[in-house]
Amino acid sequence: MEECCSTKPQKEHSHLEGDGHDHDHSHSHDTGDQSVFQMFFPAIISFIILISGITLDQYIKPDWFAGWVRIFWYGIAYIPVGFPVLKEAYQSIIRRDVFSEFFLMGIATVGAFAIGEYPEGVAVMLFYSVGEVFQAMAVTRAKSNIKSLLDQRPDEVTVLKDGQPQTVKAEKVNIGEIIQLKSGEKLGLDGELLSEKASFNTAALTGESKPDTKIKGEAVLAGMINLNTVSQVKVTTAYKDSKLSKILELVQNATAQKAPTELFIRKFAKVYTPIVVFLAIGITFLPYFFVADYQFRDWLYRALIFLVISCPCALVISIPLGYFGGIGAGSRNGILFKGSNFLDTLAGIQNVVMDKTGTMTEGVFKVQEVDFKPEFDKNEILGLVNALESKSTHPVATAIHHYAGEINHSIPLENVEEVAGHGLKAMINGKELLVGNFKLLDKLNITYDIKPENIVYTLIAVAYDKKFVGCLTIADSIKADAQLAINKLKALNVKTTMLSGDKTSVVKYVADTLGIQNAYGDLLPEDKVNKVQEIKAKNETVAFVGDGVNDAPVVALSDVGIAMGGLGSDATIETADVVIQDDMPGKIPMAINIGKQTKKIVWQNIILAFAVKAVVLVLGAGGLATMWEAVFADVGVALLAILNAVRIQQMRF
């Protein structure tokens, strides 16, 4: 057989939580149940009191607006926006995270009050808190986009009990119960179709709205929408274990896998913030020893400006948001990334190594011809082959079953064994039956009188009782968008290689048809590992594309394991790094492109934040920038970076 089914080991994915500055809005801005007005309400109150104070200060100038009245007025303006930040700073200090952005903003604004710059102190905190709300909204929107894309599970389903339809909660439905699904209704649990035929919209799972027709006995999944007749589905999986539940959980957990850039920025913020605080102290006191007309108030003001500018929130929030946007863009297109680290790796991938069957070809084999020697009873041997192949999950086994018909379960199969990369063998009534490729016959010293290498089809050899019986000719068709996928990979300067256990003539034919640069057939799993190691020995990155449950060693060795046909296998969803849900090769270059665009946006944000902050820091330290410029350098840059990060969610790939 071509690829033997071995189970892919779980890759070591340490769920790396950012160990630096944690910009978590769950404390100060819980946007879950709040309206936009409620979120902005403290800022509106603060703004009204601030503007009235500035009007009294600059234009009306009444005698009573002075001294303690003026301080009290601006103090009241400060409380709605300042108190939550000071509270957050206090809680951060208790958590032993002293140098948080809340601490920076707190000492900067309280310091402004201390030197009598009341309007500026309020304005800095007001703009900062408005920026925080916008950030919180952007994060919530990114999360809800993904959640609404994937959390397509209906809460209730119609179950048939004693032939009568009853509406029950989806999570309370047991395996084996029968769901009735009306036209236009969404399926709540995974199951098996009992009706003769039904068409479904699978957009929730694959990103493709093209109808998918299922026939009796085929698997149907939660989230699929019934398009025409009333259908009946027998539940095969509990609500919490459905494919859609697993996909949703996977995407929600994806943010735990941090990209190297993200981890670096968090660690950087952890070191950077205390340095900034000590530099600000230096700006306040060191000029005393070097400047003739040293004014403490002036240098403290400069230090406070320096603190506001240096707040790292633009980086700390916009970078994770950029990666979250990339994960969301992928899931909208039927591509699941298990973490932002895989977006980063795919962005720089140099080689795509792919399996043939089920990846670039349909994996739907059809028996074209059965050529058995006349001394054997064709129907009897086919029955034996069909019974043995029922022990395999390989597409070839399915093709033989469709051709040969019902399986005779009374055939006494003993010592059934799958020979890795070769095929199957078993004992029947004391006689050995071999079904697989010609390497299996070579291995067990069975002679044959044909030259399989000359035939451009997959051949399944059969031997019985130490004699060569003949072979089945099996053909597979190339996927519709495989050619486009290879062309796009070439345009991205990605090298392509096909590795397959199928015979070399078939593999070369498919590779030549598609324009794949390198192709190797007749490979055992260990041969595939050697080929990938050869590529990695050149210090080049490798993405391996296969069906996720086969070729375990190669997937473990590759930098990114991409699984095709995620809808077909639970193991695929659990073990691959990236899952392409609708089996389309065209999604391979799309995944790489999403990675590239995400990384580009992240680096744009890093450069923007550092460039603007560096300029305003120098101006602030030199006394040429006021608190207003500082506000722009902090909140303005953060908002620009967020708008840039959100952009990826609107891109078409």
DSSP string over 597-618? HHHHHHHHHHHHHHHHHHHHHH
At residue 235, the pLDDT reads 95
Lowest mean pLDDT among 19-28, 72-81, 282-291: 19-28
Structural domain includes residue 388? yes
Domain edge (last residue) among 449, 477, 505: 477
Lowest mean pLDDT among 314-323, 465-474, 536-545: 314-323
Residue 565 burial (C-beta neighbours within 10 Å; 0-12, 13-18, 19+): buried
Lowest mean pLDDT among 199-213, 314-328, 573-587: 199-213
- Long-range contacts of residues 217-222, Cβ cutoff 8 Å, at least 24 apart: 217/192, 217/193, 218/192, 218/193, 219/190, 219/191, 219/192, 219/193, 220/187, 220/190, 220/191, 220/192, 220/193, 221/187, 221/190, 221/567, 222/152, 222/153, 222/187, 222/188, 222/189, 222/190
Structural domain includes residue 512? no
Lowest mean pLDDT among 266-270, 359-363, 584-588: 266-270
Domain edge (last residue) among 424, 459, 477: 477
pLDDT exceeds 70 at position 9: no
pLDDT exceeds 50 at position 281: yes
For residue 400, give the amino acid letter: I
In 3-state terms, what secondary structure has residue 578? strand
pLDDT exceeds 80 at position 48: yes
- Averaged pLDDT for residues 536-548: 88
Structural domain includes residue 161? yes
Cα gap 357→531, rounded to integer Å: 18
pLDDT digits (tens, 9 = 90+) for 125-159: 998 888 788 877 777 776 666 566 555 667 889 99
At residue 30, the pLDDT reads 45
**Of 66-70, 454-458, 625-629, highest mean pLDDT:** 66-70
Structural domain includes residue 208? yes
pLDDT exceeds 90 at position 485: yes
CATH of the domain at 202: 2.70.150.10
**Of 398-412, 572-586, 589-603, highest mean pLDDT:** 589-603
Please give the C-alpha separations between residue 469 and each of 207, 222, 286, 371, 382, in angstroms, as whole numbers. 47, 45, 94, 9, 11
Cβ–Cβ < 8 Å for 180, 158: yes
CATH of the domain at 400: 3.40.1110.10
At residue 4, the pLDDT reads 34
pLDDT exceeds 50 at position 101: yes
Q: How confident is the model at residue 572 (pLDDT cuts 50, 70, 90)?
A: low
Please state, rounded to an integer, the average pLDDT across all residues of the chain: 84
Structural domain includes residue 358? no
At residue 144, the pLDDT reads 66
Structural domain includes residue 204? yes
Structural domain includes residue 409? yes
Going through 297-410 in order, the beta strands assigned E by DSSP cover 335-337, 351-354, 366-372
Residue pointed to by tokens 């990979």: 489
Q: How confident is the model at residue 184 (pLDDT cuts 50, 70, 90)?
A: confident
Catalytic member of 190, 212, 355, 522: 355
pLDDT exceeds 50 at position 165: yes
Structural domain includes residue 408? yes
502 in active site: no
- Averaged pLDDT for residues 627-642: 79
Q: Domain residues for 200?
A: 156-241
CB-based contacts of 596, cutoff 8 Å, min separation 6: 346, 347, 492
pTM, rounded to two decimals? 0.71
Domain edge (last residue) among 187, 213, 241: 241
At residue 569, the pLDDT reads 58
Going through 493-552 in order, the beta strands assigned E by DSSP cover 495-499, 518-520, 542-546
pLDDT exceeds 60 at position 309: yes
Cβ–Cβ < 8 Å for 494, 544: no
Give 594 or 630, the one with higher predicted confidence.
594
At residue 5, the pLDDT reads 33
At residue 321, the pLDDT reads 80
pLDDT digits (tens, 9 = 90+) for 494-529: 999 999 888 788 899 899 999 999 999 888 778 888
Give 334 or 490, the one with higher predicted confidence.
490
Cα gap 486→584, rounded to integer Å: 12
**Number of independent structural domains in the chain:** 2
Cβ–Cβ < 8 Å for 467, 455: no
Cα gap 57→69, rounded to integer Å: 12
Cα gap 485→542, rounded to integer Å: 17
Sign of the torsion formed by the C-alpha atoms of 291, 296, 298 and 303: positive
